[in-house]
Amino acid sequence: MIDSSRSAQRTVIQFLLAEGEHASHIYRRMKEVYGEQWLVRCIIFRWCQRYEAGRANIKDLPRPGQVHVVTNSATILAVDELMRLNRRITTREIAVELSISKGTVHHIIHKKLGYGKICA
């Protein structure tokens, strides 16, 4: 079984470029080898351009946007404390109180703390 992950395919693109292959030939070879899991033509050409410009890393660069908040033990304890103080508190109120997203609060409550509704 061939590893068809994006990073594996990027490594193959980088290798074939280093051997002097042209982007269109790399595209044809990738299509033959990977079948349904191959990267589309424009993506292969884009990575060829990046490697020809001197890029060495096969991983994606960080993208701008909202920073991902990691749920650490302090945040989990704070959510648990708020819920124990007021069992009728909403996820929105917890999110505002702790300056985290409602999705993060939901994840902590259900996945980390294992709480769920007893009755609707």
With tokens 């490594």, the residue in question is 11
CATH classification of the domain holding 34: 1.10.10
Establish if 25 belongs to a structural domain: yes
Tokens linked to 65: 């946007």
* Domain extent at residue 12: 6-53
Quote the pLDDT of residue 67: 64
Establish if 38 belongs to a structural domain: yes
- Please count the CA atoms within 13 angstroms of the CA of 48 that sit on its side-chain side: 19
This prediction has a pTM of 0.49
CA distance linking residue 43 with residue 49, whole number of Å: 10
Per-residue burial over 34-45, b = 16 or more CB atoms within 10 Å of its CB, e = otherwise? beeebbeeebbb
Establish if 67 belongs to a structural domain: no
Establish if 59 belongs to a structural domain: no
Question: pLDDT tens-digit profile of 79-113?
Answer: 999 999 998 999 999 999 998 989 999 999 999 99
**Domains in the chain, number:** 2
Tell me which residue of 2, 99, 77 sits closest to 12, measured CA to CA: 2
pLDDT band per the 50, 70, 90 thresholds, residue 49: very high
Q: Residue 7: what are its φ and ψ, rounded to 5°?
A: -65, -35
CA distance linking residue 36 with residue 20, whole number of Å: 25
